[in-house]
């Protein structure tokens, strides 16, 4: 990582970071292993995850005084999900700054949701260590604000799995059973999920990770069951 791209990333974050701490935040364990066991960003990620959770929880609490604890929890989960954080990381073009080992580079590590989201959390941790909670809050809120706004309008989409379980119970269909298969090489694996309810396939989904495929399948199943609920409600 040269000084120029490091400067660009700091400008995007909007706060100064000590160069050594910035490098640490960008150091994936694969790079650390190949470099002879230098420190990784995992401790910073652990700290940043807590900072992120606190800031998002407080923001939701203040913005939505009429929502229940359950609704707030769903909105928080949607906001801090791996997919949401990876999307923010891509807006920062974070993949270009990552310090990855040769193996991760060869398997598309710069575009992996898990690595991007973890690194973003590590950066939040670095901002907190450097500037404290108030500055960290400002950085987190600025970067996740759009996601917070979208979460307010997602409804059942905040957590498709929970929403599916709730509507399945309402229709007395039992607990959803997830079946997942995968194909392709490790660096380009695709997952396909099916959902069984009362012995019948009610939804399918695909994705680059098992969780993503299951969420898509849950969304598909929820919509199919919602079509059954609507006529009953009109009767």
Q: Where are the alpha helices (DSSP H) in 14-132?
A: 19-25, 29-34, 42-63, 69-79, 82-91, 102-106, 113-131
Catalytic residue among 104, 121, 216, 220: 121
Under a CB-based contact definition with an 8 Å cutoff, are residues 44 and 24 in contact? Answer: yes
Q: What is the Cα 13 distance to its own chain's centre?
A: 19
Quote the CA–CA distance of 101 and 97 in Å, as a whole number: 13
Q: Is 34 among the residues known to form the active site?
A: no
Q: Is 118 annotated as a binding residue?
A: yes
Q: What are phi and psi of 175, to 5 degrees?
A: -90, 135
Q: Is 49 among the residues known to form the active site?
A: yes
Catalytic residue among 11, 20, 34, 49: 49
Q: Is 121 annotated as a binding residue?
A: yes
Which of 49, 76, 42 shows the shortest CA–CA distance to 62?
Answer: 76
- Radius of gyration over every alpha carbon of the chain, rounded to an integer in angstroms: 20
- Residues marked as catalytic: 49, 121
Feature table: binding site: 45, 118, 121
Binding-site residues from annotation for Mg(2+) = 45, 118, 121
């Amino acid at each position: 990582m040269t000084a120029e791209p490091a400067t660009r990333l700091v400008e995007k974050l909007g706060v100064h970071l000590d160069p050594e701490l910035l490098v640490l935040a960008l150091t994936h364990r694969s790079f650390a292993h190949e470099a002879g066991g230098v420190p990784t960003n995992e401790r910073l990620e652990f700290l940043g995850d807590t900072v992120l959770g606190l800031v998002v929880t407080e923001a939701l609490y203040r913005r939505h005084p009429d929502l229940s604890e359950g609704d707030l929890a769903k909105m928080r989960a949607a906001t801090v999900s791996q997919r949401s954080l990876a999307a923010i990381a891509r807006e920062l073009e974070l993949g270009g700054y990552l310090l990855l080992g040769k193996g991760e580079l060869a398997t598309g590590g710069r575009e992996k949701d898990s690595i991007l989201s973890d690194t973003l959390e590590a950066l939040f941790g670095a901002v907190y260590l450097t500037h404290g909670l108030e500055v960290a809050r400002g950085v987190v809120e600025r970067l996740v604000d759009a996601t917070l706004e979208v979460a307010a309008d997602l409804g059942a989409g905040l957590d498709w799995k929970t929403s599916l379980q709730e509507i399945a119970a309402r229709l007395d269909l039992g607990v959803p059973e997830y079946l997942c298969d995968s194909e392709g090489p490790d660096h380009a694996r695709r997952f396909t999920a099916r959902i069984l309810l009362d012995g019948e396939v009610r939804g399918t989904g695909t994705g680059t990770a098992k969780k993503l495929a299951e969420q898509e399948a849950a969304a598909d199943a929820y919509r199919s069951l919602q079509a059954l609920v609507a006529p009953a409600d009109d009767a």
